Amino acid sequence: MNHDAYDDNYIRGILNSVKSIAMVGASPVNVRPSYFAFKYLAQRGYDMIPVNPGHVGKQLLGKPFVASLTDIGRPVDMIDIFRSSAHIMPVVDEVLTLSPLPKVIWMQLGARDDAAAEKAEAAGIKVVMNRCPKIEYGRLSSEISWMGVNSRTLSSKRAPIPTQGMRLSLNRMSVGGGATAASDRAAKNKSEPT
């Protein structure tokens, strides 16, 4: 897997197939990127689970926080890690103790740990690094086009009108795939997420 530039079909396949997402490092503070992504993915119909030991006993948009992945107590399709690169490996190690294993480990924009990715992939888990699932979902559905963002997709089909909880079609023709050569030039040096 080339983690510098993902093919759109790889990302599309993941976002189309997963149903439940545990977000490690989810924040209840409504200006944090993790809150944005959590809320958006919940609105698009994903079964979201906030994981953050600092907020156990509280809820995020009606979903109770759990302290750790092992506390979820049911199978999860994808783990979305909102931690900086230095904190990725311990989370991946914890993921690998889960049974059944999740299908996907997703590391947020700015987060990348190639050794952790290799370990997860050796266990049969798909890995995405340095991407945001909210941005990728918005891009592949073209919902992000409202913001003048280059979705790098085309479609001659009539678009649905997004409503609360509705999953959008991601099945558009890709213009540039994940190979955004120019935009990935600076990606490796991006600042750490929180």
Partner 1 sequence: MTDRLPGFSTLAVHAGAQPDPTTGARVTPIYQTTSFVFNDADHAASLFGLQAFGNIYTRIGNPTTAVLEERMAALEGGTAALAVASGHAAQVVVLQQLLMPGDEFIAARKLYGGSINQFTHAFKSFGWNVAWADPDDIASFERAVTPRTKAIFIESIANPAGSITDIEAIADVARNAGVPLIVDNTLATPYLIRPIDHGADIVVHSLTKFLGGHGNSLGGIIVDGGTFDWSKENKYPMLSEPRPEYHGIRIQETFGNFAFAIACRVLGLRDLGPALSPFNAFMILTGIETLPLRMQKHCENAKAVAEFLAGHPAVASVNYAGLAGDKYNQLARKYAPKGAGAVFTFSLRGGYDAGVSLVSNLKLFSHLANVGDTRSLVIHPASTTHSQLDDDAKVRSGAGPDVVRLSIGIEDKEDLIGDLAQALSA
3-class SS at 47?
A: strand
Q: Among residues 16, 17, 30, 70, which is the contact residue for partner 1, using CB under 8 A?
A: 30
Q: Does residue 189 belong to the site contacting partner 1 (CB under 8 A)?
A: yes
CB-based contact 24:91 (threshold 8 Å): yes
* Residue 20 vs 43, nearer CB to partner 1: 43
Query: CA 59, CA 62: separation in Å to the nearest integer?
Result: 5
From the CB of 191, what's the least distance to partner 1, in Å?
A: 4
Q: Does residue 16 belong to the site contacting partner 1 (CB under 8 A)?
A: no
Q: Among residues 67, 103, 145, 167, which is the contact residue for partner 1, using CB under 8 A?
A: 145
Query: CA 140, CA 153: separation in Å to the nearest integer?
Result: 7
From the CB of 5, what's the least distance to partner 1, in Å?
A: 10
CA 164 distance to own-chain centroid: 19
Site residues for partner 1, 104-143, by CB under 8 A, read 109-110, 132, 135, 138, 142-143
Q: Does residue 13 belong to the site contacting partner 1 (CB under 8 A)?
A: no
* Residue 7 vs 121, nearer CB to partner 1: 7
**What is the pairing mode between strands 63-64 and 59-60?**
antiparallel
CB-based contact 65:59 (threshold 8 Å): yes
Nearest to 140 by CA among 176, 104, 181: 176
From the CB of 110, what's the least distance to partner 1, in Å?
A: 8
Query: Own/partner pairs for 61-66, CB < 8 Å, 24+ apart?
Result: 65/26, 65/28
Site residues for partner 1, 45-104, by CB under 8 A, read none
Q: Which residues are at the interface with partner 1 (CB under 8 A)?
A: 7-9, 30-31, 33, 35-36, 39-40, 43, 109-110, 132, 135, 138, 142-152, 154-161, 163-164, 173-177, 180, 182-187, 189-191, 193-194
